[in-house]
Amino acid sequence: MKIYGIFIVLAPPSEPATILTSASDLAHIGRFARTDHLRVLELYTPILVGRIPQGQSESVQENDYTFHVYNRGGAEQLAGQ
């Protein structure tokens, strides 16, 4: 399994999720396709985090990607993907 990126997300229960920081490794992807792959990751991250209830984790398969999402919730309202 190849990890493409790790995202830390602010996930308030009644507001849209916001990416706080991220790290990605797309070096093995052709340089002309890297931007497209990164956009897909950045697009799906807030959507998926917003759909996962607080305190739960879930794996979501989308095209060639598997997103592993954990919505911690609590006072920090953080989630990770």
Domain region containing 11: 5-80
Per-residue pLDDT band for 18 (boundaries 50, 70, 90) equals very high
Q: How many structural domains compose the chain?
A: 1
CATH number at residue 34: 3.30.450.50
pLDDT at residue 59, rounded to an integer: 94
pLDDT above 90 (res 38): no
pLDDT digits (tens, 9 = 90+) for 57-80: 999 887 777 889 999 988 889 999
Query: Is the pTM of the predicted complex or chain greater than 0.85?
Result: no
Q: Which of 60, 58, 54 is nearest to 40 (CA)?
A: 60
